[in-house]
Amino acid sequence: MVLYDDKKWLCRLIRTAFTIEDDSGVCEKVLKEKPYLGDQQGGGGDTSSASSEDSFDIRDGADLGHRRRSNTAIRLEKLDKQKKAQNATQFVRITDNDVIKNDLIFEPNMDYQEDSKTRGDHVVHVQQLLTKGPHPDSIPYMRYATFESSCHPSIPYRKFAIFVTFLPIRIRSYPVKVAVVATAKVLELIGLVLWVISKTYPDVKLKTVHQYNIQISDVDGEWDNDFPPLDHHEPIGKFSFSHLALVPADGQAEQPKLTYIFTFLLPNAGELRVSLPDPQTITMKEALEIVFQKSGWIKLTGNTSDINGYHLEKLGHPSVVFKDLNMNIGETKCREFCLVRNGAKSVQAARVSDATSKPENDMPGHSELFRVTVTGRFNRVRNALCVIHRDRMELEFQAKIKTYPFSHISGVKLDATKNRVLVSLTQGAQSNYTSSSHLQLSTADVTTATELHHRLQCIIESYPKGHKIS
């Protein structure tokens, strides 16, 4: 029986099976650095390939043992590049049968001796060029700039996105993208990245190239400490990674914390994306606290009833309700939620019901829900969600909902210049809901205002006349 923690067996497997195809260099590095993992000290098995030095598969150098692409593919790519380049080139072919035109007039320049006397007016003093600019030796990492692929158009190159782990946090997540010639060493790639950083972020203090390592990285910038750094002396062409991380060799780099993105649909139909740490350790209540703090939906007073007044639904599935807020959010196996106030109808439920009741409408949710700004007394402005049902209009404010039956609405008027809809209320409604005779519903744009006006107008006109009080 062979276990996967059997070093000898693993080493033999690596040597015989993986070395040829391994483009990470890790197998090769392990076998070189840990020769005891072979069969020499094991006292049994096949000892003929115990040392990496004797292996036919492991060779120092750029391409031995690694055939990344077929010769045909390389040739086709080269032909394709040449074809594209030739499009920009004018070709003039000389043949033996060309008729020599001989129509150039070689006017003698009689003033050439005078020219040499007056040329001093245009002399460029190279000394000034040398002294006014920085000396090349004072430009750090400049010699590594020569490994950038654009300097060597005819040489194969590799592109890498390299996360620089010691940059400030706000820019750390954006990798430095470099194209380096395939024959460059890892150390020269480090120098090239440092040269780019020194140009882009001159305030960042950098060390010598030997004080950094290149680690294998994921696309999100998390590098893997389980793998050794790439050997400084290895040619970069043998590695096929697309993402790498530049890490200080002293290990002072801070591993980025993995976060998970959750989406919450708020009661006013606004979406909020929150990044949370490990979802297996954070409860839904804690997640809601973060949601309320970031959205400002309600002001938390420290009273748990604030949060307990809400529950979550799985977005797209109103029937899946999460009412136990002490449950870890990871247990829901869901990343998108709809925030619902207890006792209120959720936004997505309104969309679903409208969609089912009016199948002829292409965008039922968008036509029935409008984000508006309500101007009240003393010009007090409040954001709300205007929900239009069959028999009523609801304005969902941050903490309460106001309902206006259509029987209490006498008319609507569009003020296109201010993206505003004026809703006139009956006298009975005024006494019940507001002291004003009309509501001012401002929208973000004239299209939304027009749509809201049209929707209200249609419902009011179709409403039974007997119910209207003019």
- Counting contacts by CB under 8 A, is residue 302 touching another protein? no
The residue from 132, 233, 333, 465 that contacts another protein (CB under 8 A) is 132
- Of 3, 44, 69, 123, the one binding another protein by CB under 8 A: 123
Q: Does residue number 116 form part of the binding site for another protein (CB under 8 A)?
A: yes
CA 423, 424, 429, 431 dihedral sign is: positive
Would you count residue 98 as binding another protein (CB under 8 A)? yes
| String of contacts with another protein for each residue 135-164, x by CB under 8 A | -x--x--xx-xx---xxxxxx---------
| Residue 202 binds another protein (CB under 8 A) | no
Query: Taken in order 145, 151, 156, 161, is the CA torsion positive or negative?
Result: positive
CB of 143 to another protein, least distance (A): 6
Identity of the residue, 132 or 333, whose beta carbon is nearer to another protein in the bound complex: 132
Q: Rule CB under 8 A: is residue 122 a binding residue for another protein?
A: yes
Stretch that binds another protein, among 39-47, 82-90, 360-368, 384-392 (CB under 8 A): 82-90
Q: Does 92 bind another protein (CB under 8 A)?
A: yes
* Residue 97 touching another protein (CB under 8 A): no
431 secondary structure, DSSP code: H
Q: Which residues of 132-150 are buried (b: 16+ CB within 10 A; e: fewer)?
A: eeeeeeeebbbebeebbbe
Question: Between residues 133 and 428, which has the closer beta carbon with respect to another protein?
Answer: 133
List phi, psi (to 5°) of 256: -65, 140
Q: Does 179 bind another protein (CB under 8 A)?
A: no
Strands (E), 389-427: 392-396, 401-405, 409-415, 420-425
Binding of another protein by 1 (CB under 8 A)? no
Q: Is the alpha carbon torsion for 422, 428, 431, 433 positive or negative?
A: negative
CA distance 60 to 127: 46
**Alpha-helix runs per DSSP H in 311-467:** 347-357, 364-368, 427-433, 446-462
| CB nearer another protein, residue 63 or residue 461 | 63
Q: Which is nearer to another protein, 136 or 302 (CB)?
A: 136
- The rounded Cα 193 to chain-centroid distance in angstroms is 21
Taking the complex as a whole, the smallest distance from the CB of residue 101 to another protein amounts, in Å, to 6
Task: Give the Cβ contact number of residue 25 at 10 Å.
Answer: 22
Site size toward another protein (CB under 8 A) is: 53
- Nearer Cβ to another protein (183/430): 183
- Which residues lie below 8 Å from residue 452, measured CB to CB, with a gap of 6+? 370, 372, 386, 421, 441, 443
| Residue 124 interacts with another protein (CB under 8 A): yes or no | yes
Sites for another protein among residues 408-427 (CB under 8 A) = none
AA letter at 96:
D
Backbone angles phi, psi at 321, to 5 degrees: -115, 135
Cβ neighbours around 3 below 10 Å, total: 7
- The tokens for 267 are 């009661």
CB of 105 to another protein, least distance (A): 9
Which is closer to another protein, CB of 181 or CB of 385?
A: 181
- Which of 44, 106, 319, 380 binds another protein (CB under 8 A)? It is 106
What is the contact surface with another protein in residues (CB under 8 A)?
82, 85-86, 88-95, 98, 100-104, 106-110, 112-113, 115-116, 119-130, 132-134, 136, 139, 142-143, 145-146, 150-155
